[in-house]
A and B are shown apart, each in its own frame.
Chain A
Protein backbone atom coordinates (compact mmCIF):
# COMPACT_ATOMS: atom_id res chain seq x y z
CA UNK A 1 0.00 0.00 0.00
CA UNK A 2 2.76 2.40 0.96
CA UNK A 3 4.80 1.60 -2.12
CA UNK A 4 1.85 2.09 -4.43
CA UNK A 5 1.13 5.56 -3.13
CA UNK A 6 4.78 6.48 -3.05
CA UNK A 7 5.35 6.16 -6.77
CA UNK A 8 2.84 8.72 -8.09
CA UNK A 9 3.82 11.04 -5.27
CA UNK A 10 7.45 11.15 -6.30
CA UNK A 11 6.42 11.60 -9.91
CA UNK A 12 4.28 14.57 -9.03
CA UNK A 13 6.92 16.09 -6.80
CA UNK A 14 9.50 15.79 -9.57
CA UNK A 15 7.10 17.51 -11.92
CA UNK A 16 6.37 20.36 -9.61
CA UNK A 17 10.03 21.10 -9.20
CA UNK A 18 10.61 21.24 -12.94
CA UNK A 19 7.37 22.85 -14.15
CA UNK A 20 6.35 24.72 -11.04
CA UNK A 21 2.72 25.63 -11.78
CA UNK A 22 0.01 23.15 -10.99
CA UNK A 23 -2.22 23.57 -14.12
CA UNK A 24 0.77 22.68 -16.27
CA UNK A 25 1.38 19.71 -14.11
CA UNK A 26 -2.17 18.53 -14.70
CA UNK A 27 -1.80 18.89 -18.48
CA UNK A 28 1.43 17.03 -18.39
CA UNK A 29 -0.15 14.15 -16.62
CA UNK A 30 -3.00 14.16 -19.14
CA UNK A 31 -0.56 14.09 -22.01
CA UNK A 32 1.31 11.21 -20.49
CA UNK A 33 -1.88 9.23 -20.00
CA UNK A 34 -2.82 9.95 -23.60
CA UNK A 35 0.59 8.84 -24.86
CA UNK A 36 0.42 5.69 -22.82
CA UNK A 37 -3.05 5.01 -24.20
CA UNK A 38 -1.73 5.28 -27.77
CA UNK A 39 1.27 3.14 -26.87
CA UNK A 40 -0.93 0.37 -25.46
CA UNK A 41 -3.14 0.48 -28.53
CA UNK A 42 -0.10 -0.21 -30.66
CA UNK A 43 1.17 -3.00 -28.41
CA UNK A 44 -2.19 -4.74 -28.54
CA UNK A 45 -2.32 -4.30 -32.28
CA UNK A 46 1.14 -5.77 -32.82
CA UNK A 47 0.35 -8.83 -30.74
CA UNK A 48 -2.93 -9.40 -32.50
CA UNK A 49 -1.05 -9.56 -35.79
CA UNK A 50 1.16 -12.34 -34.51
CA UNK A 51 -1.17 -15.31 -34.83
CA UNK A 52 -2.44 -14.64 -38.37
CA UNK A 53 1.16 -13.92 -39.32
CA UNK A 54 2.21 -17.23 -37.81
CA UNK A 55 -0.16 -19.12 -40.09
CA UNK A 56 1.28 -17.35 -43.12
CA UNK A 57 4.84 -18.03 -41.97
CA UNK A 58 4.08 -21.71 -41.40
CA UNK A 59 2.58 -22.09 -44.86
CA UNK A 60 5.47 -20.18 -46.42
CA UNK A 61 8.01 -22.35 -44.58
CA UNK A 62 6.33 -25.55 -45.71
CA UNK A 63 6.10 -24.35 -49.29
CA UNK A 64 9.79 -23.40 -49.40
CA UNK A 65 10.81 -26.73 -47.87
CA UNK A 66 8.66 -28.66 -50.35
CA UNK A 67 10.17 -27.01 -53.42
CA UNK A 68 12.95 -29.65 -53.92
CA UNK A 69 10.50 -32.55 -54.10
CA UNK A 70 8.17 -30.55 -56.34
CA UNK A 71 11.02 -29.92 -58.76
CA UNK A 72 11.79 -33.64 -59.06
CA UNK A 73 8.18 -34.95 -59.11
CA UNK A 74 5.01 -33.69 -60.67
CA UNK A 75 2.18 -32.60 -58.39
CA UNK A 76 -0.10 -35.31 -59.74
CA UNK A 77 2.54 -38.01 -59.08
CA UNK A 78 2.81 -36.81 -55.52
CA UNK A 79 -0.89 -36.48 -54.80
CA UNK A 80 -2.25 -39.38 -56.86
CA UNK A 81 0.64 -41.84 -56.85
CA UNK A 82 0.25 -44.85 -54.60
CA UNK A 83 3.90 -45.94 -54.64
CA UNK A 84 5.91 -44.67 -51.72
CA UNK A 85 9.49 -45.94 -51.89
CA UNK A 86 11.87 -43.27 -50.68
CA UNK A 87 14.95 -45.32 -51.73
CA UNK A 88 13.95 -45.34 -55.38
CA UNK A 89 12.58 -41.84 -55.32
CA UNK A 90 8.89 -42.76 -55.52
CA UNK A 91 6.89 -40.40 -53.37
CA UNK A 92 3.20 -41.13 -54.03
CA UNK A 93 1.25 -39.77 -51.09
CA UNK A 94 -2.19 -41.08 -51.98
CA UNK A 95 -2.17 -43.90 -49.35
CA UNK A 96 -1.48 -41.33 -46.63
CA UNK A 97 -4.03 -38.84 -47.88
CA UNK A 98 -6.73 -41.49 -48.16
CA UNK A 99 -5.89 -42.93 -44.73
CA UNK A 100 -6.22 -39.49 -43.18
CA UNK A 101 -9.56 -38.89 -44.84
CA UNK A 102 -10.91 -42.37 -44.01
CA UNK A 103 -9.92 -42.22 -40.35
CA UNK A 104 -11.42 -38.77 -39.97
CA UNK A 105 -14.64 -39.66 -41.78
CA UNK A 106 -15.10 -42.79 -39.66
CA UNK A 107 -14.64 -40.74 -36.51
CA UNK A 108 -17.10 -38.09 -37.76
CA UNK A 109 -19.72 -40.74 -38.50
CA UNK A 110 -19.34 -42.21 -35.03
CA UNK A 111 -18.85 -39.07 -32.98
CA UNK A 112 -21.36 -36.55 -34.31
CA UNK A 113 -24.61 -38.45 -33.74
CA UNK A 114 -23.48 -39.83 -30.40
CA UNK A 115 -22.22 -36.56 -29.02
CA UNK A 116 -25.25 -34.60 -30.19
CA UNK A 117 -27.60 -37.14 -28.59
CA UNK A 118 -25.57 -36.99 -25.39
CA UNK A 119 -25.66 -33.21 -25.37
CA UNK A 120 -29.43 -33.29 -25.92
CA UNK A 121 -29.85 -35.54 -22.91
CA UNK A 122 -27.63 -33.36 -20.76
CA UNK A 123 -29.28 -30.10 -21.72
CA UNK A 124 -32.94 -31.13 -22.06
CA UNK A 125 -33.55 -34.16 -19.87
CA UNK A 126 -30.86 -34.61 -17.22
CA UNK A 127 -31.54 -33.48 -13.68
CA UNK A 128 -29.24 -31.22 -11.72
CA UNK A 129 -27.72 -34.10 -9.79
CA UNK A 130 -26.66 -35.97 -12.91
CA UNK A 131 -25.23 -32.80 -14.45
CA UNK A 132 -23.17 -32.19 -11.36
CA UNK A 133 -21.67 -35.63 -11.82
CA UNK A 134 -21.32 -35.66 -15.61
CA UNK A 135 -19.99 -32.17 -16.33
CA UNK A 136 -16.68 -32.59 -14.45
CA UNK A 137 -16.24 -36.02 -16.02
CA UNK A 138 -16.44 -34.46 -19.47
CA UNK A 139 -13.96 -31.78 -18.42
CA UNK A 140 -11.50 -34.42 -17.32
CA UNK A 141 -12.11 -36.51 -20.41
CA UNK A 142 -11.24 -33.64 -22.71
CA UNK A 143 -8.04 -33.02 -20.77
CA UNK A 144 -6.63 -36.55 -20.94
CA UNK A 145 -3.32 -36.67 -22.88
CA UNK A 146 -3.79 -38.29 -26.25
CA UNK A 147 -1.13 -40.93 -25.61
CA UNK A 148 -3.40 -42.38 -22.94
CA UNK A 149 -6.22 -42.65 -25.44
CA UNK A 150 -3.69 -44.41 -27.65
CA UNK A 151 -2.78 -46.95 -25.00
CA UNK A 152 -6.42 -47.53 -24.26
CA UNK A 153 -6.94 -48.06 -27.97
CA UNK A 154 -4.18 -50.67 -28.11
CA UNK A 155 -5.46 -52.47 -25.01
CA UNK A 156 -9.19 -52.38 -25.69
CA UNK A 157 -10.18 -51.23 -29.18
CA UNK A 158 -7.61 -53.19 -31.19
CA UNK A 159 -8.34 -56.58 -29.53
CA UNK A 160 -12.05 -55.89 -29.81
CA UNK A 161 -11.77 -55.27 -33.53
CA UNK A 162 -9.52 -58.32 -33.98
CA UNK A 163 -11.60 -60.76 -31.92
CA UNK A 164 -15.15 -59.58 -32.54
CA UNK A 165 -15.64 -57.13 -35.39
CA UNK A 166 -13.24 -58.92 -37.79
CA UNK A 167 -14.79 -62.39 -37.40
CA UNK A 168 -18.26 -60.86 -37.48
CA UNK A 169 -17.50 -59.19 -40.81
CA UNK A 170 -15.67 -62.30 -42.03
CA UNK A 171 -12.36 -60.49 -42.45
CA UNK A 172 -9.04 -61.50 -40.95
CA UNK A 173 -7.45 -58.52 -39.24
CA UNK A 174 -4.76 -57.71 -36.72
CA UNK A 175 -7.08 -55.12 -35.24
CA UNK A 176 -4.64 -52.34 -36.09
CA UNK A 177 -6.86 -50.65 -38.64
CA UNK A 178 -8.39 -47.41 -39.80
CA UNK A 179 -11.55 -48.42 -37.93
CA UNK A 180 -9.57 -48.57 -34.68
CA UNK A 181 -8.07 -45.18 -35.51
CA UNK A 182 -11.51 -43.76 -36.23
CA UNK A 183 -12.96 -45.12 -32.99
CA UNK A 184 -10.14 -43.77 -30.84
CA UNK A 185 -10.36 -40.43 -32.60
CA UNK A 186 -14.14 -40.32 -32.17
CA UNK A 187 -13.76 -40.86 -28.46
CA UNK A 188 -11.21 -38.08 -28.29
CA UNK A 189 -13.39 -35.49 -29.99
CA UNK A 190 -16.48 -36.66 -28.13
CA UNK A 191 -16.08 -34.51 -25.00
CA UNK A 192 -15.19 -31.41 -27.01
CA UNK A 193 -18.30 -31.61 -29.18
CA UNK A 194 -20.58 -32.58 -26.30
CA UNK A 195 -19.46 -29.66 -24.18
CA UNK A 196 -19.91 -27.05 -26.88
CA UNK A 197 -23.24 -28.41 -28.11
CA UNK A 198 -24.45 -28.58 -24.52
CA UNK A 199 -23.53 -24.94 -23.93
CA UNK A 200 -25.12 -23.86 -27.20
CA UNK A 201 -28.38 -25.66 -26.38
CA UNK A 202 -28.52 -24.12 -22.94
CA UNK A 203 -28.32 -20.64 -24.48
CA UNK A 204 -31.53 -21.32 -26.42
CA UNK A 205 -34.09 -19.27 -24.48
CA UNK A 206 -36.49 -21.21 -22.34
CA UNK A 207 -39.38 -19.21 -23.77
CA UNK A 208 -38.76 -20.91 -27.10
CA UNK A 209 -39.29 -24.31 -25.49
CA UNK A 210 -42.41 -23.02 -23.78
CA UNK A 211 -43.70 -21.52 -27.03
CA UNK A 212 -43.27 -24.81 -28.85
CA UNK A 213 -44.75 -26.91 -26.06
CA UNK A 214 -47.72 -24.57 -25.77
CA UNK A 215 -48.58 -25.37 -29.39
CA UNK A 216 -49.08 -28.96 -28.29
CA UNK A 217 -45.69 -30.28 -29.36
CA UNK A 218 -44.23 -33.17 -27.42
CA UNK A 219 -40.87 -32.66 -25.82
CA UNK A 220 -39.08 -34.59 -28.53
CA UNK A 221 -40.86 -32.66 -31.29
CA UNK A 222 -39.83 -29.43 -29.66
CA UNK A 223 -36.21 -30.57 -29.39
CA UNK A 224 -35.94 -32.01 -32.86
CA UNK A 225 -37.83 -29.38 -34.80
CA UNK A 226 -37.06 -26.22 -32.90
CA UNK A 227 -34.30 -26.34 -30.30
CA UNK A 228 -31.81 -28.14 -32.54
CA UNK A 229 -32.67 -25.84 -35.40
CA UNK A 230 -32.09 -22.80 -33.26
CA UNK A 231 -28.81 -24.23 -32.00
CA UNK A 232 -27.65 -25.55 -35.36
CA UNK A 233 -25.06 -22.86 -36.11
CA UNK A 234 -23.43 -23.59 -32.76
CA UNK A 235 -23.67 -27.32 -33.30
CA UNK A 236 -21.91 -27.01 -36.64
CA UNK A 237 -19.24 -24.80 -35.11
CA UNK A 238 -18.70 -27.46 -32.45
CA UNK A 239 -18.22 -30.13 -35.10
CA UNK A 240 -15.78 -27.94 -37.02
CA UNK A 241 -13.73 -27.47 -33.91
CA UNK A 242 -13.81 -31.15 -33.06
CA UNK A 243 -12.70 -32.23 -36.48
CA UNK A 244 -10.07 -29.65 -37.07
CA UNK A 245 -8.50 -31.36 -34.10
CA UNK A 246 -9.25 -34.84 -35.43
CA UNK A 247 -7.51 -34.31 -38.76
CA UNK A 248 -4.20 -33.62 -37.18
CA UNK A 249 -4.34 -35.90 -34.14
CA UNK A 250 -1.14 -37.88 -34.26
CA UNK A 251 -0.02 -40.06 -31.45
CA UNK A 252 -3.23 -41.83 -30.45
CA UNK A 253 -4.08 -42.68 -34.04
CA UNK A 254 -0.51 -43.70 -34.86
CA UNK A 255 -0.63 -46.28 -32.08
CA UNK A 256 -3.66 -48.14 -33.37
CA UNK A 257 -3.87 -47.56 -37.10
CA UNK A 258 -1.22 -50.07 -38.25
CA UNK A 259 1.03 -47.71 -40.21
CA UNK A 260 1.28 -49.74 -43.39
CA UNK A 261 1.80 -47.95 -46.68
CA UNK A 262 -1.20 -49.14 -48.64
CA UNK A 263 -4.50 -47.83 -49.86
CA UNK A 264 -7.01 -49.26 -47.37
CA UNK A 265 -9.68 -51.31 -49.13
CA UNK A 266 -11.96 -51.78 -46.18
CA UNK A 267 -12.26 -50.29 -42.73
CA UNK A 268 -10.39 -53.22 -41.16
CA UNK A 269 -7.27 -52.65 -43.28
CA UNK A 270 -4.31 -50.92 -41.75
CA UNK A 271 -3.72 -47.37 -42.87
CA UNK A 272 -1.06 -44.71 -42.54
CA UNK A 273 -2.38 -41.17 -41.98
CA UNK A 274 -0.22 -38.14 -42.78
CA UNK A 275 0.44 -37.11 -39.17
CA UNK A 276 1.76 -40.62 -38.43
CA UNK A 277 3.97 -40.51 -41.52
CA UNK A 278 5.56 -37.28 -40.38
CA UNK A 279 5.93 -38.28 -36.74
CA UNK A 280 7.36 -41.69 -37.53
CA UNK A 281 9.91 -40.57 -40.06
CA UNK A 282 11.02 -37.10 -39.20
CA UNK A 283 14.05 -38.32 -37.25
CA UNK A 284 15.59 -40.40 -40.03
CA UNK A 285 14.91 -38.09 -42.90
CA UNK A 286 18.53 -36.99 -43.33
CA UNK A 287 19.78 -40.28 -44.75
CA UNK A 288 17.61 -40.25 -47.85
CA UNK A 289 17.62 -37.31 -50.23
CA UNK A 290 14.29 -35.62 -50.72
CA UNK A 291 12.79 -37.33 -47.66
CA UNK A 292 12.86 -34.10 -45.68
CA UNK A 293 11.20 -32.29 -48.52
CA UNK A 294 8.47 -34.88 -49.10
CA UNK A 295 7.55 -34.89 -45.41
CA UNK A 296 7.23 -31.12 -45.53
CA UNK A 297 5.09 -31.45 -48.59
CA UNK A 298 2.92 -34.02 -46.80
CA UNK A 299 2.53 -31.55 -43.93
CA UNK A 300 1.51 -28.89 -46.41
CA UNK A 301 -1.10 -31.24 -47.89
CA UNK A 302 -2.50 -31.92 -44.41
CA UNK A 303 -2.66 -28.21 -43.69
CA UNK A 304 -4.44 -27.54 -46.97
CA UNK A 305 -6.98 -30.32 -46.26
CA UNK A 306 -7.73 -28.82 -42.86
CA UNK A 307 -7.98 -25.33 -44.33
CA UNK A 308 -10.38 -26.45 -47.04
CA UNK A 309 -12.49 -28.26 -44.48
CA UNK A 310 -12.55 -25.16 -42.29
CA UNK A 311 -13.36 -22.71 -45.04
CA UNK A 312 -16.11 -24.94 -46.39
CA UNK A 313 -17.74 -25.48 -43.02
CA UNK A 314 -17.58 -21.80 -42.23
CA UNK A 315 -19.35 -21.11 -45.49
CA UNK A 316 -22.08 -23.60 -44.50
CA UNK A 317 -22.29 -21.93 -41.11
CA UNK A 318 -22.71 -18.47 -42.60
CA UNK A 319 -25.46 -19.60 -44.92
CA UNK A 320 -27.29 -21.26 -42.06
CA UNK A 321 -27.08 -18.17 -39.88
CA UNK A 322 -28.48 -16.05 -42.69
CA UNK A 323 -31.33 -18.47 -43.11
CA UNK A 324 -32.26 -18.32 -39.44
CA UNK A 325 -31.96 -14.57 -38.96
Chain B
Protein backbone atom coordinates (compact mmCIF):
# COMPACT_ATOMS: atom_id res chain seq x y z
CA UNK B 1 0.00 0.00 0.00
CA UNK B 2 2.76 2.34 1.09
CA UNK B 3 4.56 1.65 -2.14
CA UNK B 4 1.85 3.19 -4.24
CA UNK B 5 2.12 6.60 -2.64
CA UNK B 6 4.54 8.73 -4.65
CA UNK B 7 7.55 9.84 -2.67
CA UNK B 8 8.31 12.88 -4.77
CA UNK B 9 5.63 14.63 -6.81
CA UNK B 10 6.49 17.37 -9.22
CA UNK B 11 3.78 19.78 -10.29
CA UNK B 12 4.10 22.24 -13.18
CA UNK B 13 7.80 22.73 -12.66
CA UNK B 14 9.47 25.28 -14.91
CA UNK B 15 13.05 26.40 -14.68
CA UNK B 16 14.88 29.08 -16.59
CA UNK B 17 18.55 30.00 -16.71
CA UNK B 18 18.32 33.50 -18.08
CA UNK B 19 16.71 32.99 -21.48
CA UNK B 20 17.24 29.27 -21.54
CA UNK B 21 14.05 27.44 -20.63
CA UNK B 22 15.76 24.39 -19.17
CA UNK B 23 12.78 22.53 -17.70
CA UNK B 24 9.33 22.82 -19.30
CA UNK B 25 6.12 21.93 -17.47
CA UNK B 26 7.46 18.94 -15.63
CA UNK B 27 4.74 16.82 -13.99
CA UNK B 28 5.75 13.49 -12.57
CA UNK B 29 5.46 11.23 -9.55
CA UNK B 30 8.49 9.34 -8.29
CA UNK B 31 7.35 6.04 -6.73
CA UNK B 32 8.31 5.11 -3.20
CA UNK B 33 11.08 2.54 -2.67
CA UNK B 34 11.75 1.93 -6.32
CA UNK B 35 14.61 2.77 -8.61
CA UNK B 36 13.64 5.43 -11.10
CA UNK B 37 16.04 6.23 -13.91
CA UNK B 38 16.01 9.52 -15.79
CA UNK B 39 17.35 8.97 -19.29
CA UNK B 40 17.82 11.13 -22.34
CA UNK B 41 20.49 12.66 -24.57
CA UNK B 42 23.07 14.95 -22.97
CA UNK B 43 21.89 18.48 -22.37
CA UNK B 44 18.24 17.44 -22.11
CA UNK B 45 17.90 18.56 -18.49
CA UNK B 46 18.26 15.24 -16.64
CA UNK B 47 20.75 16.53 -14.10
CA UNK B 48 18.94 19.84 -13.79
CA UNK B 49 15.73 18.01 -12.95
CA UNK B 50 17.54 15.85 -10.40
CA UNK B 51 19.00 18.91 -8.72
CA UNK B 52 15.63 20.57 -8.36
CA UNK B 53 14.67 17.70 -6.02
CA UNK B 54 16.94 18.95 -3.25
CA UNK B 55 17.16 22.60 -4.29
CA UNK B 56 20.82 22.35 -5.24
CA UNK B 57 19.91 24.01 -8.51
CA UNK B 58 19.46 27.28 -6.66
CA UNK B 59 23.21 27.52 -6.20
CA UNK B 60 23.60 28.19 -9.89
CA UNK B 61 23.57 31.91 -10.58
CA UNK B 62 20.52 33.29 -12.36
CA UNK B 63 18.04 30.45 -12.07
CA UNK B 64 14.32 31.07 -11.92
CA UNK B 65 12.19 28.21 -10.65
CA UNK B 66 8.42 27.98 -10.67
CA UNK B 67 6.10 25.17 -9.67
CA UNK B 68 6.04 22.68 -6.86
CA UNK B 69 8.16 19.77 -5.75
CA UNK B 70 6.36 17.78 -3.06
CA UNK B 71 8.42 15.46 -0.92
CA UNK B 72 6.24 13.43 1.45
CA UNK B 73 3.48 15.83 0.51
CA UNK B 74 5.42 18.93 1.56
CA UNK B 75 6.35 21.58 -1.01
CA UNK B 76 10.10 22.05 -0.71
CA UNK B 77 9.93 25.33 -2.60
CA UNK B 78 7.59 26.86 -0.02
CA UNK B 79 8.87 30.16 1.35
CA UNK B 80 9.44 28.86 4.87
CA UNK B 81 10.94 25.52 3.81
CA UNK B 82 13.84 24.28 5.94
CA UNK B 83 16.32 23.73 3.13
CA UNK B 84 19.16 21.96 5.03
CA UNK B 85 16.68 19.44 6.43
CA UNK B 86 15.12 18.86 3.02
CA UNK B 87 18.56 18.18 1.62
CA UNK B 88 19.35 15.87 4.51
CA UNK B 89 16.45 13.67 3.41
CA UNK B 90 18.26 13.01 0.13
CA UNK B 91 21.69 11.50 -0.23
CA UNK B 92 23.52 12.59 -3.36
CA UNK B 93 26.01 10.69 -5.48
CA UNK B 94 27.66 12.87 -8.09
CA UNK B 95 29.33 11.95 -11.37
CA UNK B 96 32.79 12.33 -9.97
CA UNK B 97 33.03 11.02 -6.41
CA UNK B 98 33.78 13.97 -4.13
CA UNK B 99 35.27 12.92 -0.82
CA UNK B 100 35.49 15.75 1.70
CA UNK B 101 39.07 16.95 2.34
CA UNK B 102 39.46 14.96 5.55
CA UNK B 103 39.99 11.42 6.80
CA UNK B 104 37.85 8.44 5.84
CA UNK B 105 36.32 8.40 9.31
CA UNK B 106 35.57 12.11 9.33
CA UNK B 107 33.95 11.87 5.91
CA UNK B 108 31.27 9.59 7.32
CA UNK B 109 31.10 11.34 10.69
CA UNK B 110 30.82 14.82 9.12
CA UNK B 111 27.09 14.68 8.47
CA UNK B 112 26.28 13.15 11.85
CA UNK B 113 28.40 15.78 13.58
CA UNK B 114 26.70 18.75 11.90
CA UNK B 115 23.38 17.25 12.93
CA UNK B 116 24.49 17.22 16.53
CA UNK B 117 25.95 13.79 17.25
CA UNK B 118 28.95 14.30 19.55
CA UNK B 119 29.41 10.99 21.37
CA UNK B 120 32.57 9.31 20.16
CA UNK B 121 31.43 5.73 20.63
CA UNK B 122 28.14 6.37 18.81
CA UNK B 123 30.04 7.96 15.90
CA UNK B 124 32.46 5.06 15.81
CA UNK B 125 29.67 2.50 15.76
CA UNK B 126 27.73 4.30 13.07
CA UNK B 127 30.76 4.93 10.87
CA UNK B 128 31.42 1.19 10.89
CA UNK B 129 27.77 0.41 10.21
CA UNK B 130 27.45 2.71 7.23
CA UNK B 131 30.78 1.70 5.75
CA UNK B 132 29.49 -1.87 5.91
CA UNK B 133 26.24 -0.78 4.26
CA UNK B 134 28.30 0.52 1.36
CA UNK B 135 30.51 -2.63 1.33
CA UNK B 136 33.61 -0.61 2.05
CA UNK B 137 34.34 -1.50 5.67
CA UNK B 138 36.62 -4.48 5.00
CA UNK B 139 38.81 -2.44 2.67
CA UNK B 140 39.28 0.58 4.93
CA UNK B 141 38.89 -0.61 8.52
CA UNK B 142 42.65 -0.42 9.18
CA UNK B 143 43.15 3.05 7.75
CA UNK B 144 40.20 5.10 8.88
CA UNK B 145 42.46 8.03 9.71
CA UNK B 146 43.99 8.32 6.29
CA UNK B 147 42.85 11.08 3.93
CA UNK B 148 39.88 9.92 1.87
CA UNK B 149 41.54 11.24 -1.27
CA UNK B 150 43.95 8.27 -1.17
CA UNK B 151 41.16 5.78 -1.91
CA UNK B 152 40.61 4.55 -5.45
CA UNK B 153 37.83 6.23 -7.43
CA UNK B 154 35.54 3.23 -6.99
CA UNK B 155 36.15 3.18 -3.25
CA UNK B 156 35.58 6.93 -3.10
CA UNK B 157 32.16 6.53 -4.68
CA UNK B 158 31.21 3.90 -2.10
CA UNK B 159 32.55 6.22 0.59
CA UNK B 160 30.26 8.95 -0.75
CA UNK B 161 27.36 6.51 -0.60
CA UNK B 162 28.16 5.63 3.01
CA UNK B 163 28.51 9.32 3.84
CA UNK B 164 25.10 10.02 2.34
CA UNK B 165 23.47 7.09 4.14
CA UNK B 166 24.94 8.23 7.45
CA UNK B 167 22.60 11.22 7.68
CA UNK B 168 19.68 8.78 7.39
CA UNK B 169 18.02 9.99 4.20
CA UNK B 170 14.84 8.59 2.68
CA UNK B 171 15.89 9.16 -0.90
CA UNK B 172 19.10 8.58 -2.81
CA UNK B 173 19.82 10.79 -5.80
CA UNK B 174 22.44 9.62 -8.26
CA UNK B 175 23.78 11.86 -11.01
CA UNK B 176 25.36 9.32 -13.38
CA UNK B 177 27.01 7.84 -10.30
CA UNK B 178 28.95 5.23 -12.24
CA UNK B 179 30.17 7.27 -15.18
CA UNK B 180 33.67 7.76 -13.73
CA UNK B 181 33.99 4.18 -12.48
CA UNK B 182 35.53 1.00 -13.85
CA UNK B 183 33.20 -1.93 -14.68
CA UNK B 184 33.74 -3.72 -11.36
CA UNK B 185 33.09 -0.62 -9.26
CA UNK B 186 30.06 0.09 -11.42
CA UNK B 187 28.74 -3.35 -10.64
CA UNK B 188 29.30 -2.71 -6.91
CA UNK B 189 27.19 0.44 -7.04
CA UNK B 190 24.46 -1.15 -9.16
CA UNK B 191 24.17 -4.13 -6.83
CA UNK B 192 24.08 -1.77 -3.89
CA UNK B 193 21.24 0.19 -5.45
CA UNK B 194 19.10 -2.88 -5.98
CA UNK B 195 19.65 -3.83 -2.34
CA UNK B 196 19.04 -0.34 -1.04
CA UNK B 197 15.67 0.11 -2.70
CA UNK B 198 14.23 -2.05 0.08
CA UNK B 199 14.67 0.96 2.33
CA UNK B 200 15.17 3.96 0.08
CA UNK B 201 13.61 5.63 -2.92
CA UNK B 202 16.30 5.90 -5.56
CA UNK B 203 16.36 8.34 -8.45
CA UNK B 204 19.28 8.22 -10.83
CA UNK B 205 20.30 9.99 -13.96
CA UNK B 206 21.98 7.76 -16.48
CA UNK B 207 22.88 7.84 -20.14
CA UNK B 208 23.45 4.10 -20.27
CA UNK B 209 20.26 2.39 -21.42
CA UNK B 210 21.48 -1.02 -20.36
CA UNK B 211 22.12 0.27 -16.87
CA UNK B 212 18.55 1.56 -16.71
CA UNK B 213 17.36 -1.85 -17.88
CA UNK B 214 19.46 -3.66 -15.30
CA UNK B 215 18.43 -1.78 -12.19
CA UNK B 216 15.55 0.62 -12.79
CA UNK B 217 11.90 -0.14 -12.10
CA UNK B 218 10.71 3.03 -13.77
CA UNK B 219 12.16 5.11 -16.54
CA UNK B 220 11.64 8.78 -17.35
CA UNK B 221 12.71 9.85 -20.82
CA UNK B 222 13.53 13.52 -21.29
CA UNK B 223 14.25 15.52 -24.39
CA UNK B 224 15.10 19.24 -24.56
CA UNK B 225 13.79 19.99 -21.10
CA UNK B 226 10.54 18.08 -21.43
CA UNK B 227 9.41 14.70 -20.20
CA UNK B 228 8.47 12.80 -23.32
CA UNK B 229 7.52 9.47 -21.85
CA UNK B 230 7.66 7.63 -18.56
CA UNK B 231 6.54 4.32 -17.11
CA UNK B 232 7.78 0.89 -16.06
CA UNK B 233 11.25 0.23 -17.49
CA UNK B 234 10.45 -2.66 -19.77
CA UNK B 235 7.36 -0.99 -21.15
CA UNK B 236 9.18 2.22 -22.07
CA UNK B 237 12.38 0.63 -23.34
CA UNK B 238 10.84 -2.31 -25.21
CA UNK B 239 7.69 -0.70 -26.54
CA UNK B 240 8.23 3.03 -26.61
CA UNK B 241 5.09 4.87 -27.69
CA UNK B 242 6.52 8.24 -28.59
CA UNK B 243 8.55 8.68 -31.75
CA UNK B 244 11.44 10.45 -29.95
CA UNK B 245 11.67 7.66 -27.40
CA UNK B 246 11.75 5.11 -30.19
CA UNK B 247 14.56 7.00 -31.87
CA UNK B 248 16.51 7.32 -28.63
CA UNK B 249 16.08 3.68 -27.67
CA UNK B 250 16.89 2.65 -31.22
CA UNK B 251 20.08 4.68 -31.13
CA UNK B 252 19.04 7.23 -33.77
CA UNK B 253 19.48 10.12 -31.36
CA UNK B 254 21.85 10.05 -28.45
Contact = CB atoms under 8 A, between A and B. Distances in A.
Interface of A: 127-128, 205-218, 221, 225-226, 229-230, 323-325
Given A216-B114, A216-B115, A324-B147, A211 B59 contact: no
Given A214-B164, A215-B163, A229-B101, A325 B56 contact: no
Interface string B145-178: 0010110000000001001100100000100000
Nearest to A206: B59
The 8 A-B pairs at the shortest CB distance, nearest first, are namely A216-B88, A214-B92, A215-B111, A230-B101, A211-B98, A207-B98, A207-B94, A216-B84
A134 to B, nearest CB: 15
A128 B62 contact: yes
B111 A216 contact: yes
A128 to B, nearest CB: 6
A221 B114 CA distance: 8
Contacts of A207: 94-96, 98
B88 to A, nearest CB: 3
A210 B160 CA distance: 12
Contacts of A216: 84-85, 87-88, 111, 114-115, 167
B150 to A, nearest CB: 7
Contact of B147 (A128, A226, A323): A323
Interface of B: 51, 54, 56, 59, 61-62, 84-85, 87-88, 90-92, 94-96, 98, 100-102, 110-111, 114-115, 147, 149-150, 160, 163-164, 167, 173
A129 to B, nearest CB: 10
A325 B59 contact: no
Given A210-B56, A214-B56, 20 more contacts: A128-B62, A206-B59, A207-B95, A207-B98, A208-B101, A209-B59, A211-B100, A211-B163, A214-B87, A215-B111, A215-B114, A215-B163, A216-B85, A216-B114, A221-B114, A225-B114, A229-B100, A324-B147, A325-B149, A325-B150
B164 A215 contact: yes
